[in-house]
A and B are shown apart, each in its own frame.
Chain A
């Protein structure tokens, strides 16, 4: 990093830390916190898809597992009121375990087949939460979750504390995934992505490496789920439908798979569309007496974005150097 870049980054951090506390409305901070949660999700999925090259279309399942961990263990549901900070770890750990559970049967699968199985897992998990009415409140979910507290002060309904927690988690996530990427494990993921057979000949236990990618990726999603549930003070199955998985994958594709900062940018851009542009589009349209529900056009919009990206920037807006090369048509090497 050059000195200018470092200064810019420092300035950005200062703004992110100070502005929401003094200059922004609660609604704005709430949107920022939600966007932040999706940054964590995108960074976590990037470990699985971007680093290890395993297409996971059911990533929202781990988000749900994290959220329901908080929903069930910090609410009147069972009268359990475990502390938020402990549940952050529990949610992350549980999601990681389920990552292993999903990973184990899918190890022999590649590409489309893997995507289909993970998609199935993503469908099953919210279904299970919906049908285990006794424990999960069924379709209504669980409401009135505990407010987290920090040294005795309750978070309450204000968005600001959640925002800061999210910011801290993002910082740790960036640090973690950067370290992972440059590590022995990260190299083995890159090796598997490029040539699994050669990777095995390097002494890489590909089973273990893939499982660790699934599991580490899932753990970020679990942590994000705990924060999300606490912030909403509610969990319900409909929050974790397939479209959430699609949204997160879209963030990666838009930003540039594999590239940590590209993924962050992609995730912020789509959150902007999701949380700001679309809701306001509705307002503007109804003011003009045009009765179109732009919210219903989410999928249309993602589809259009994805098609546009595929056509004009197949490696994303901010491509990872390696992945960009991998996606070049000329790079397809025929098997002799």
Chain B
């Protein structure tokens, strides 16, 4: 079986800085995968390359069988890759509900004419969308803050809302950039459970995460990056025992 996301030999340079050096990662449909590595290892660059924010200098990226490298971000999003950001990027001054409705953009049809004339089909679509947003709020445990500005929510809720917004596009693959950052242990456990629930509903997950407990518990495959290179790939048990990984995190033994 071929992978849902196949990153093959991708490189990305910024001047003399090599952000990604011949990186290959495969993410199987239905799995929860993790990308880990020290700060500056190229994890976020990898996400940015997959979502078309950066254009890879070499290599190719296949999603669901089709090449996506070189496509603009919005097309990649419509193809079914959603993401969250390391530094949360919600629409801060829109309500939680409006954030979710904006997140569903790719799944809606109405265009300029429908918008102008408020046609019956546009009305139906908006009504169904509002209902979906309400369900999603419930799924994310955010129904109480439906009308609050996204920027005014507590940090943990903002993280959840950003994930919920990404889910509104019904993605096949969801990329999460440090979803547990800034969460307390209780929130982290809830997040881990929620991520499994999301996966069980049919969305494949890939996360960048520094919290090793969360990674080891939740993820089936782990890819380790260091200085833009993939230094290891395997199951949590394999990664824990990998010499190069230990070295990357703790430094070479004296």
Instruction: List residues of A whose CB falls within 8 A of some B CB.
Output: 176, 179-180, 182-188, 190-191, 194-195, 197-206, 212, 216, 322-323, 325-326, 331, 333, 335-336
Contacts and interface: CB of A to CB of B under 8 A. Distances in A.
A182 B92 CA distance: 18
B74 A333 contact: no
B78 A195 contact: no
Given A200-B72, A203-B169, A191 B118 contact: no
B94 A322 contact: yes
Contact of B105 (A180, A182, A204, A325): A204
B85 A198 contact: yes
Given A201-B73, A323-B93, 14 more contacts: A179-B117, A183-B115, A184-B105, A186-B115, A197-B73, A198-B91, A200-B77, A201-B77, A201-B83, A202-B103, A202-B105, A204-B74, A322-B93, A331-B93
Contact of A331 (B92, B94, B110, B117): B92
Given A198-B90, A204-B74, A187 B105 contact: yes
A294 to B, nearest CB: 40
Interface in B164-205: 165-166, 169
Contacts of A325: 93, 149, 151
B128 to A, nearest CB: 12
Interface residues of B, number: 40
Contacts of B60: none
B101 interface: yes
Contacts of B14: none
Contacts of B105: 184, 187-188, 191, 202-204
A254 B201 CA distance: 50
A212 B112 contact: yes
Contacts of A182: 118, 126
B112 A191 contact: no
A201 B91 CA distance: 12
A323 B117 CA distance: 25
B92 A188 contact: no
Contacts of B26: none
A195 B98 CA distance: 14
A197 B114 contact: no
Given A179-B117, A200-B74, A187 B93 contact: no
20 contacts: A179-B118, A184-B108, A184-B114, A184-B125, A190-B102, A191-B102, A194-B92, A195-B89, A197-B73, A197-B89, A200-B74, A202-B77, A202-B105, A204-B106, A205-B72, A322-B93, A322-B94, A331-B93, A331-B151, A333-B92
Interface string B34-56: 00000000000000000101000
B111 interface: yes
Contacts of A185: 111-112, 115
A191 B169 CA distance: 15
B3 to A, nearest CB: 22
Nearest to A324: B93
A298 to B, nearest CB: 34
A206 B169 CA distance: 17
A333 B91 CA distance: 12
Interface in B78-130: 78, 82-83, 85, 87, 89-94, 98, 101-103, 105-106, 108, 110-112, 114-118, 122, 125-126
Given A203-B74, A203-B77, A184 B83 contact: no
Given A183-B115, A205-B74, A322-B94, A188 B87 contact: no
Nearest to B115: A183
Most chain-B Cβ atoms within 10 A of its Cβ — which of A184, A190, A191, A201? Answer: A201
Contact of A187 (B51, B90, B102): B102
Interface in B147-167: 149, 151, 165-166
A69 B169 CA distance: 43
A64 B195 CA distance: 56
A188 B112 CA distance: 12
Contacts of A198: 85, 89-91
A1 B40 CA distance: 53
B74 A194 contact: no
Most chain-A Cβ atoms within 10 A of its Cβ — which of B72, B73, B111, B114? Answer: B73
Contacts of A186: 115
